Structures are given as C-alpha cells and as structure tokens.
Amino acid sequence: MAVDVDVDWTRCILCQTKLRIGIKSYQLICPKSGKGATEIEHGFYENIHNKIHQLWNAGIPLAEVKMPKELTAETMFQNDAKWHRQCKVKYANTKVQQMLKSHQKKEPPTAPESEIQAPKRSRENFLNNKCLFCQQVQDPEHLHNVQTLEFGMKHRAMAEGMNDSIMAVRLSGNDMIAAEGKYHRGCCTGFYNRYKKYKAGRTTDKEK
C-alpha cells in the first residue's frame, strides 16, 4: 500500500539533492524503462529499499540518506523515484556486506542466526560473482565488470528480440554498473553472434 510521505520526487530519493551540473555520476537515473510497469522494475526499488532498511535495522547510522523511514518500495515505484548513480553505488551488495561485517565486529549481533545469515543468501541470489551470460564463476580472473550504462539496455534489447525471457531478466534495469554486473568476453561475444544469427534467420524468412 502506498504511503503519504514528504518527498521531492524530482530529486534523488536517497540524498534528496538536485543534480550536480557537470558531474556525470550525479545524473538522476530512473530504473523504470518508460515502457510500462513491470515486476522487474519494481524489484529494483525493493532492492535499494531493503538494503537501506537492512542497514538501519542493524543500527548503522546513514547520515547521508534522507529517505523517510516510512517510505515503501511501492510508493517509490508509483512515483518514478530516481537516484544518483554515485548515491546508489554506495549500497551495492558488496559494500552493504562490508558495512554489516564492520558493524558486527564493533557490536556483537543479538539477532537470531537465521536473520544474520539472510544478507549472505541475498548476495548469492544476485549477479555479482557470476557471468551474466553463462551464470558460472569459473575463471573469475577473466570476469569483466560492466563499464557502461548502455551495456544492460543494449543486450536486454537483443534478448527481448530473441524472446529470451531468462536473459532479459538478468539484463533488466538501466544501471548494470551499480548492480555490479560481470561477464566473460567469450560469453558476451557468443550471445552477440547468436543474436546476429537470429536476425539473419528472420530476414531470410521475410524474403521468402
């Protein structure tokens, strides 16, 4: 259920400041594609919402976060909440885990063991340490980090063109950099070649 909160939706949902002109990493990004509401896009709001609350619930102060605590992921989704990439990247999975571990060393956890282990399971379910294409962790030294915002959108379009719903989900979202996406170059090339072959087949069918 949506909750009425005092938020300026034209600003970053995390820091509530305006765009810093000339600084690319502080450009506002909205994870909604503009093609209509989807469960995938809703998941991006749930992801950042859950991470912030996970840190708050652990007793970690986040002075730079101006997001109201009563704000829900559903309200963020309905209002097209945006964020600066530089703000969101602070709460990437690996950084959240580091903050939790550092806090636990200072103050022994009192939560049940099942709750303490939850962040680890969440991390394993995400993309960080696997190739986006083959979903394998072999040869980690050959994994390359996604470096551009266009990577996810470009390859998702290919996946959607081939009706590859599994790859479309993995490549969903507009910021694969903040999501810490990784890939093997060979796998990426293989995916592109598969798309070219698919397009060539479609062209041949149309000419018949």
Burial class (CB in 10 A: 0-12, 13-18, 19+), 180: middle
Q: What are the pLDDT digits (tens) for 100-120?
A: 988 887 765 454 544 444 334
Among 126, 160, 185, the domain-final residue is 126
Q: The whole model's pTM is what?
A: 0.47
Same domain, 53 and 136: no
Among 111, 126, 141, the domain-final residue is 126
Domain residues for 173?
Answer: 127-208
CA angle 148/47/57 to nearest 5° reads 130
CA distance 48 to 137: 25
Same domain, 112 and 171: no
Same domain, 76 and 165: no
> CA torsion sign, 49 to 28 to 65 to 86?
positive
Q: Which long-range contacts (CB under 8 A, 24 or more apart) does 165-168 make?
A: 167/133, 167/191
In this prediction, residue 152 carries a pLDDT of 82
**Which residue type occupies 6?**
D
* Positions of the chain with pLDDT lower than 70, given as ranges: 1-5, 19-25, 33-40, 107-128, 138-140, 173-174, 203-208
Q: Which long-range contacts (CB under 8 A, 24 or more apart) does 62-65 make?
A: 64/14, 64/15, 64/90, 65/14, 65/15
CA distance 16 to 7: 8
Same domain, 133 and 121: no
CA distance 44 to 40: 7
In this prediction, residue 171 carries a pLDDT of 79
Same domain, 106 and 133: no
Same domain, 102 and 160: no
Same domain, 79 and 3: yes
Element (H, E) at 144: strand 143-145
Same domain, 137 and 110: no
Q: Total structural domains in the chain?
A: 2
Same domain, 108 and 16: yes
Same domain, 89 and 139: no
Same domain, 118 and 153: no
Residue 183, strand partner residues? 144
Rg over alpha carbons for the chain, rounded to the nearest Å, is 19
Same domain, 121 and 135: no
Among 109, 126, 143, the domain-final residue is 126
